[in-house]
A and B are shown apart, each in its own frame.
Chain A
């Protein structure tokens, strides 16, 4: 008897504590959020702070000036060329990749059946090989006396085309490196298209173009959008392709940022460039992500 009367208020007290407690979700998210605050947000804040520091100094958080941005927007400065190259290459990468990846994503969902997982693994694996190794393989392929040149000569031609160190090969390299980042989101997107709906439309006499335009494309759009965003962002900030395949025939924006941070020792200018790039990227990313429901995309396999 005494036991019961003692434990009842205790249980009530415990309930009250639970009521005040942080929700389980937030508790689980805590470590990740804290880590990203220190490892992602803090560095970006530092970059922003540096972009307002006196040029060629390390006076971060102690000085405030717009000189770095003024220097970038000065008409005499040609850094906008790097921006233009990066954005143009990124847009082209997105378009080419969407065309390349869509049929494969369709095949992975509808045609390959039990082979689909093997094909997926074949496309995932290159992610685990560093991009410089893969890009260097292309250098060996396209270089003078390389695989292409040698093969052409064996076949009696004068030799392979000279494509290395041109903007076109940089685009090729970006398309090559970022293919998985387009392919898998589109595959997820296409998996969201219910097959009954396609069959029903087909039974009702819709032709394949109509089915594609009216059903498949709109329903797969979240996945396609993620793929496009991901590849755009990664390509806009890419640098290895331009350095290894492009032989610095084109200076992309990240290369300019790197130069400012390393050889030029002008951190504030490099930070200002990085801030402008981040504005483009995060603006686009937040816009696209506000339109997405991640539970639906990831939860339905």
Chain B
């Protein structure tokens, strides 16, 4: 009786998970379809496919600027957030200090905060200190949300790290920089790279923070939104699909590279 019940549960969970995964990717597929159909307005079933809208999107100068902005923001956010988060994660998980519990919770607050409201609050703040919004302010806005996320990602790696290794090296007379370079960093690399990948991808896809804080500079998600509200062309789903594919490729390549780093790190220890 129990056996049959367990089997049925297993089947149910498998089917359910499959169904939910399908639902998650269904709208992305719909967008891909709309970007590849010939007609100006989407209709299903698609009567005629064409790559016209893709070609137009790729050759549009306006879109080149958007992609450059998005890439620039994502790159700066990645580098800065990883540096901050590396030390932030050590404070989160490695060192025992008095304010640690409070720090852990403070750090989570920006993640537990609705991004549109955060974006508007930042806009107000930039304005009252006299900074006019641009891609640089968007970087700051992204960082407020992404530094805590990356810190958590790296902290998970730090939890698995035995501080005895550092202490042993120090007892043997190694300097602090030497320990950082030869012991701490090699062990934490997989977490750091995962954090960097997360930072880049989250910044690349971020919409609510960019919407309010990028000012006159537009990013890919921001431009897509403005066209969804007014002025739809199939370039909208086409660019959306391209951005999605770019993220997928980066995730696959980056994920594979990190798995490699992780294996090498595991072999060293």
A137 and B26: CB pair below 8 A? yes
CB within 8 Å of A: which of B13-57?
13-14, 16-17, 20-21, 23-24, 26-31, 33-34, 41-45
Task: For the complex, give the distance between the alpha carbons of A139 and B20 in Å.
Answer: 18
Among A33, A46, A123, A239, point to the contact of B116 (Cβ < 8 A). A239
CB of B171 within 8 Å of the partner chain = no
B215 within 8 A of A: no
A219 to B229, CA, bound (A): 45
A301: chain B residues at CB < 8 Å are: 156, 159-160
Within B210-231, which residues are at the interface with A (CB < 8 Å)?
Answer: 220-221, 224-225, 228-229
Asked if B12 and A147 make an inter-chain contact with CB atoms under 8 angstroms apart, the answer reads no
User: CA of A298 to CA of B114 in the docked complex: distance in angstroms?
Assistant: 23
Total A-B pairs, Cβ < 8 A? 281
Q: Does A194 contact B (CB under 8 A)?
A: no
Asked if B237 lies at the interface with its beta carbon under 8 angstroms from chain A, I say yes
List B140-160 residues whose CB lies under 8 Å from chain A: 140-141, 143-144, 147-148, 151-152, 155-156, 159-160
B19 → chain A, closest Cβ, in Å? 10
Structural contact, A132 and B225, CB atoms closer than 8 A: yes
Tell me, in angstroms, the Cα distance from A94 to B130 when the chains sit together.
39
B138 interfacial by beta-carbon distance below 8 Å: no
- Assuming the A-B contacts A29-B91, A35-B84, A136-B240, are A147 and B44 also in contact, with contact meaning beta carbons closer than 8 angstroms in the complex? yes
Task: Tell me which of A119, A132, A233, A282 contacts B17 (CB under 8 A).
Answer: A119
Q: What's the nearest-Cβ distance from chain A to residue B110, in Å?
A: 5
Chain A residue numbers with a CB within 8 Å of B85 are: 32
Asked whether A267 and B247 contact (CB < 8 A) given A26-B99, A104-B16, A132-B225, the answer is no
The contact string, 1 if C-beta is below 8 Å from chain A, for chain B 85-99, is 101101111111111
Q: When the two chains form their complex, are residues B152 and A298 in contact, meaning their CB atoms are under 8 A apart? A: yes
B105 within 8 A of A: yes
Give the residues in chain A near B240, CB-CB below 8 Å.
Answer: 129, 133, 136-137
Do residues A145 and B43 form an inter-chain contact, with CB atoms below 8 A? yes
Q: Which residue of B lies closest to A134 (CB)?
A: B27
Number of residues in B with C-beta < 8 Å to the partner? Answer: 99
* Contact A24 B97, CB 8 Å, known A103-B16, A134-B28, A233-B114: yes
Q: Nearest CB to that of A294 among chain B residues?
A: B104
A145 touches B44 (CB 8 A): yes
Q: Which residues 68-92 of B have a CB within 8 angstroms of A? A: 84-85, 87-88, 90-92
Q: Which of A176, A261, A289 contacts B124 (CB 8 A)?
A: A261
Closest to A282 in B: B109
Would you give the shortest CB distance from A123 to chain B, in whole angstroms?
7
Which residues from 136 to 175 on chain A have a C-beta closer than 8 Å to any C-beta of chain B? 136-141, 143, 145-147, 149-151, 154
For A135, list chain B residues within 8 Å (CB). Answer: 27
Which secondary structure dominates where chain A touches chain B? Answer: helix
Q: Is A264 an interface residue (CB 8 A)?
A: no
Name the A residues within 8 Å of B96 (CB-CB). 25
Q: Which of B10, B23, B42, B91 contacts A111 (CB 8 A)?
A: B10
The distance in angstroms between the C-alpha atoms of A249 and B115, with both chains bound, is: 22
A68 at the interface (CB under 8 A from B): no
B236 touches A176 (CB 8 A): no
Please tell me if the beta carbons of A261 and B120 are within 8 angstroms of each other in the complex.
Answer: yes
Question: Which 3 pairs show the lowest CB-CB distances between chains A and B?
Answer: A237-B114, A137-B27, A25-B97
A residues contacting B by CB (< 8 A) are 23-33, 35-36, 39-40, 42-44, 46-47, 50, 60, 100, 103-104, 106-107, 111-112, 119, 121-123, 125-141, 143, 145-147, 149-151, 154, 176, 179, 208, 229-230, 233-234, 236-240, 243-244, 254, 257-258, 261, 267, 270-271, 274, 277-278, 281-282, 285-286, 289-290, 294-295, 298-299, 301
Name 20 A/B residue pairs within 8 A (Cβ), A-sorted. Answer: A26-B99, A27-B91, A29-B87, A35-B147, A43-B118, A100-B20, A103-B13, A104-B17, A119-B17, A128-B204, A131-B208, A137-B30, A147-B30, A176-B24, A233-B114, A237-B113, A237-B116, A238-B116, A277-B117, A278-B117
Beyond the given A127-B201, A132-B228, could you list 15 further A-B residue pairs with CB under 8 A, ordered by the A residue number?
A23-B98, A24-B97, A26-B97, A32-B151, A35-B147, A100-B20, A122-B24, A126-B24, A127-B205, A134-B27, A140-B33, A179-B24, A234-B115, A294-B108, A299-B159
